[in-house]
Amino acid sequence: MALRKIVLQGDECLQKKCRVVTDFNQRLHILLDDMAETLAESGGVGLAAPQVGVLRRVCVVMNEDEEIIELVNPEIIAAEGEQTGLEGCLSVPGKYGVVTRPYTVRVRAQDRNGSFFEVEDEGLTARCFCHEIEHLDGHLFVEHTDHLLSDEELQEYIRQQEEEEEEE
Ligand code: NI
């Protein structure tokens, strides 16, 4: 396995529609292994292939049990509810925005051998499914927010969230 370099906002790889994977070969397996390692190293919860310069419909998501879910040719087939919260991206380091997403998301995808499966999750992992799958069509989370938070706004937002949690 090897670490891949994560490209940053402004790189044209992040603006392209990625191609469907048709060959479930060793090259794909190496890509998935490298992406999992790169994600673990980064401390993030999701990574899409275009973020490592590969224009294929592949992403990896780490769920709240810290399991890596490999998604090849993923599609959101159902979404329910709503959540509003902080979102960031490894390609937009250190920047966060407040983004509204569905609360529960169901995804249909293929695994590394081409078998179809479905996975459903909520909260942060559901947010991550939406975020990563959008990368495959050349979109970034920043398109869902009117502005990225300044450091002061970010601290204030986190403080307010903590207060609300204490009140609950
Ligand atoms: Ni991202």
User: Where residue 167 falls among pLDDT bands split at 50, 70, 90?
Assistant: confident
- Each residue's pLDDT tens digit, 9-63: 999 999 999 999 999 999 999 999 999 999 999 999 999 999 999 999 999 999 9
- Each residue's pLDDT tens digit, 57-71: 999 999 999 999 999
Residues with beta carbon < 5 A to ion ligand 1?
89
Cβ atoms of 19 and 35 within 8 Å: the answer is no
- Each residue's pLDDT tens digit, 105-116: 999 999 999 999
Cα angle 17, 21, 23 (rounded to 5 degrees) comes to 155
Three-state DSSP class for residue 12:
helix
Strands of the 68-80 sheet, one edge to the other: 46-48, 58-62, 68-80, 104-110, 116-122
* Catalytic residue, candidates 132, 134, 166, 168: 132
The confidence score (pLDDT) of residue 166 equals 87
Q: How far is the CA of 136 from the centre of ligand 1 (A)?
A: 10
